[in-house]
Amino acid sequence: MSSDKFFSIAKNDLFPICRSLTGKGIRKTLQIIKKEFPILKIHKIKSGTKVFDWTIPPEWNLYDGYILDKYNKKIVDFKKNNLHVVGYSAPINKFLSKNKLFKHIYSLPNQQNAIPYITSYYKKTWGFCVNHLEKKKIDKDYKDRDKFKVVIKSNLNPKGNLNYGEILIKGTSKQEILISTYICHPSMANNELSGPVVSMSLIDYFSKIKNLDKTLRFLFIPETIGSIAYLSKHLSHLKKNIIGGYNLTCIGDERQHSCMLSKYANSISDRSLLEAYKKLKIKFKKYSFLQRGSDERQYNSPGIDLPIAGIFRTKFAEYPEYHTSLDDFSLVTKKGIRGGFNVAKTAINILRKKIIPKNIILCEPQMGRRGLYPSLSTTKKNKGVINYMSFLQYADGKNELNDIAKILSLTLYQTRKILKVLKKNKLIEC
């Protein structure tokens, strides 16, 4: 199965890479994906660029980070684990006392074996992350007056770039389904790499389907700032063409299946996903949009309003290994990935097969010049016109054909006849 292949790529090639919102790690990750899918387009947006209310941060690259004790022994070493250095740490090279150093060392007292994942993207600082047992050992082994050499070799380049990847699998319709996942976390399996693995598996699957009906748009982006940047560049196109889609993250463990519905929990994406769980006979946990936390926030945000739902196994922040070094490939399995892939594949297949009419003319069209309005006004003839006009009212890209039939109290056969006429007269597309 292709998901097994991409699982191995993630485990062996992607997991060791130090990634963040920007930098060489992102580009290396995208190049590995591009090797598998040459159609991947890699884009860049310059640091300092305004994207809605946000600004693209300086490009950050980390080359080394460590703490030396008074015996010149490395007691913390970034090269042993990417999580040891706080994400977006500024460069530092100085001697500090233990008391001052400890203000910049982070651990998890309730998870003593786990290295936490901590970032500071938009406030300049520096720091190290260790498991709590290591922190207690440092505290025990050294005196308060002992000096430590603290080194972080990093660079914050205001003239750098933010990079993201995009794959378009064109269908026969202009209508699109958006699949988004992120590639900005270092050395975490479920929270980071499960989404890209499932996305790659989906690309492999759907790219082999001949005469694909809906167009599929896949994004590999840094979380939050990446989706905001993409939306700022492509909002008009997306609002016109996207009928639905899914954000994929934390989709590789075996503990449970779960999802987050879009803002009003009644979109075509939501209904297709719920149908998929039913079809696959999978028990799942459903989360409200009020419990959001990933890029579904941006896609459903005010003024954007794209009907994007989230597909997970165990939802982010709901499992103990989340944002720690324990989120590794003992948690994410081939079986877990296959389960996540099957749900996403089934939901997309259900969504893409739905007939979703969309009015392509502004305001009320003149039906008379199209031969759709009777020359003599009678109640009987006007009823047909009213059905045409009512169909156009609800063909807003948010309702499938079955929905419109129910709203108009018509049979599906009658609605299909109206669809055919309106499509012939270039009043709708689907």
What is the per-residue DSSP string for 94-110? EEEEHHHHHTTEE--TT
Question: Phi, psi at residue 118, to the nearest 5°?
Answer: -130, 140
Q: How many CB atoms lie within 10 A of CB 118?
A: 16
Which of 75-79, 135-139, 297-301, 419-423 has the weakest average pLDDT? 419-423
- Average pLDDT of the residues in 8-12: 98
- Average pLDDT of the residues in 123-132: 97
User: How much of the chain is helix, strand and coil, in % rounded to 5?
Assistant: 40, 25, 40
Q: Are 290 and 402 in a shared domain?
A: no
Q: Are 44 and 191 in a shared domain?
A: yes
Q: Which domain holds residue 128?
A: 61-156
More confident residue, 36 or 2: 36
Question: What pTM was estimated for this model as a whole?
Answer: 0.93
Q: Between vectors from CA 302 to CA 299 and to CA 304, what angle results, nearest 5°? A: 45
Q: Are 19 and 105 in a shared domain?
A: no
Q: Are 414 and 327 in a shared domain?
A: no
Q: Are 179 and 288 in a shared domain?
A: yes
- Residue where a domain terminates, one of 333, 353, 373: 353
96-113 residue pLDDT tens: 999 999 999 999 999 999
316-352 residue pLDDT tens: 999 999 999 999 999 999 999 999 999 999 999 999 9
Q: What total number of domains does the chain contain?
A: 3
Instruction: Check residue 376 and give its pLDDT.
Output: 44
How distant, in Å, are the alpha carbons of 359, 386, 404 from that of 426? Answer: 9, 18, 19
| 369-376 contact pairs (CB < 8 A, 24+) | 370/425, 370/427, 372/421, 372/425
Where does the pLDDT of residue 374 fall: very low under 50, low under 70, confident under 90, or very high at 90 and above?
low
- Average pLDDT of the residues in 246-252: 98
Instruction: Check residue 361 and give its pLDDT.
Output: 84
Q: Which secondary-structure segment (H or E) carries 177?
A: strand 176-182
Q: Are 171 and 251 in a shared domain?
A: yes
Question: Phi, psi at residue 392, to the nearest 5°?
Answer: -65, -35
- Residue where a domain terminates, one of 332, 353, 374: 353
Q: Are 211 and 273 in a shared domain?
A: yes
33-85 residue pLDDT tens: 999 999 999 999 999 999 999 999 999 999 999 999 999 999 999 999 999 99
Q: Are 399 and 298 in a shared domain?
A: no
Q: Are 112 and 132 in a shared domain?
A: yes
- 3 state SS of 308: strand
- Decide if pLDDT at 201 tops 90: yes
Where does the pLDDT of residue 373 fall: very low under 50, low under 70, confident under 90, or very high at 90 and above?
low
User: Both tokens of residue 212?
Assistant: 């694909």
- 3 state SS of 1: coil
Q: What is the Cα–Cα distance from 356 to 17, expressed in whole angstroms?
A: 42
Q: Are 188 and 101 in a shared domain?
A: no
Report the chain's C-alpha Rg in angstroms. Answer: 26
Instruction: Check residue 363 and give its pLDDT.
Output: 83
Q: How many CB atoms lie within 10 A of CB 342?
A: 17
The CATH number covering residue 221 comes to 3.40.630.10
Instruction: Check residue 397 and give its pLDDT.
Output: 86
- Tokens 């499509």 locate to 423
- Residue where a domain terminates, one of 136, 156, 176: 156
Where does the pLDDT of residue 378 fall: very low under 50, low under 70, confident under 90, or very high at 90 and above?
very low
Instruction: Check residue 381 and give its pLDDT.
Output: 53
- Decide if pLDDT at 362 tops 90: no
Question: Phi, psi at residue 58, to the nearest 5°?
Answer: -55, 150
Q: Are 377 and 401 in a shared domain?
A: yes
- Average pLDDT of the residues in 138-157: 96
Q: Are 265 and 401 in a shared domain?
A: no
- Decide if pLDDT at 147 tops 90: yes
Strands 257-260, 284-287: pairing kind: parallel
The CATH number covering residue 108 comes to 3.50.30.90
Instruction: Check residue 2 and give its pLDDT.
Output: 86
